Amino acid sequence: MAIHPTAIIDPSSKIADSAEIGPYCIIGPEVEVGPRTRLMAHVYLEGPTTIGEDNLFYPYSSIGVASQDLKYKGERAETRIGHRNRIREFVTIHRGTAGGGLVTGIGSDNLLMAYTHIAHDCSVGDHVILVNGVTLAGHVTVGDWVELSAFCGVHQFCRIGRHSFVGPHTVITQDILPYSMTVGEREVKVFGANRVGLERRGFSKEAIEALQTSFRLLTRAGLNTSQAIERIRAEVPTGAEVEEILEFIRTSSRGVVK
């Protein structure tokens, strides 16, 4: 175990033998740091927090601290982080609250760039990229393989569907459709399937074309959502990706960006 002599570590924490704790890091009680995870310097961890294997925390990140939600009254809540994540400078991740299940969860293989903020009770999947300055308000769910570009702000309780791409400076107040490419300029609208990202991940040409047709019917055919869904079911070849979009729309409580 490599622990710099300037680090301050609570005796109740559990640090794997192969973990590395750099200069001036502070680890509070009830923190678990998994094998080969490295805290570079000036990292602050507060428990209860569980961190998996092979994560890399850059300087001045603060993890597991109390929520900024004024309803939070100090109830026991936790933070869970998976494996192989890269947590860049000044990232803040707040633990859960009683109003959201008491857990903030981060999956595996994610890149959280500098100044990203993940508020209480958020759930972030795997292979997610949150670019500089992304802010997730409380209770946000981010699916696998999502990329949120710089300075996106996500409203409480919104869902970001799997394999979607959101352009920079987009303010998100409704759910973002899976597989979509959504950009907010003067207005937030879907521009079509996230073609480049899906091609890179091995989705078939047929699946991508079905998604593109579905998005055209949803956003550019002059139809309301119910009419568009009827046309999609009648005209677009059945596939898991299209069905996921339709189910996503059906279960949305806030409406979806079109």
Within 8 A by CB and 6+ apart from 66, the residues are: 46, 72, 74, 94, 95
Contact between 27 and 8 (Cβ < 8 Å): yes
- Closest by CA to 28, choosing from 65, 1, 72, is 65
Q: What is the pTM of this model?
A: 0.86
Catalytically annotated residue among 100, 105, 138, 161: 138
* CATH H-level superfamily of 198-250: Udp N-acetylglucosamine O-acyltransferase, C-terminal domain (1.20.1180.10)
Query: Which region holds residue 242: left if phi is over 0, alpha if psi is between -120 and 50, else beta?
Result: alpha
- 138 included as an active-site residue: yes
Catalytically annotated residue among 120, 127, 139, 163: 120
Tens of pLDDT, residues 71-94: 888 899 999 999 999 999 999 999
Domain with CATH 1.20.1180.10 in the chain: 198-250
Catalytically annotated residue among 54, 121, 126, 175: 121
Mean pLDDT, residues 238-244: 92
Domain 2-157 has CATH 2.160.10.10: yes
Measured between alpha carbons, how far is 225 from 204 in angstroms, rounded to an integer? Answer: 26
- 120 included as an active-site residue: yes
Q: Report the percentage of the chain scoring pLDDT > 70.
A: 99
Phi, psi of 81 (to 5 degrees): -125, 135
Residue pointed to by tokens 């702000």: 153
First-last CA distance in the chain: 51
Tens of pLDDT, residues 19-40: 999 999 999 999 999 999 999 9
Contact between 170 and 149 (Cβ < 8 Å): yes
Judged on CB neighbours under 10 Å (0-12, 13-18, 19+), 221 is exposed
Domain with CATH 2.160.10.10 in the chain: 2-157
> What pLDDT sits at residue 1?
65
> What pLDDT sits at residue 186?
62
- 10 included as an active-site residue: no
Query: Which region holds residue 220: left if phi is over 0, alpha if psi is between -120 and 50, else beta?
Result: alpha
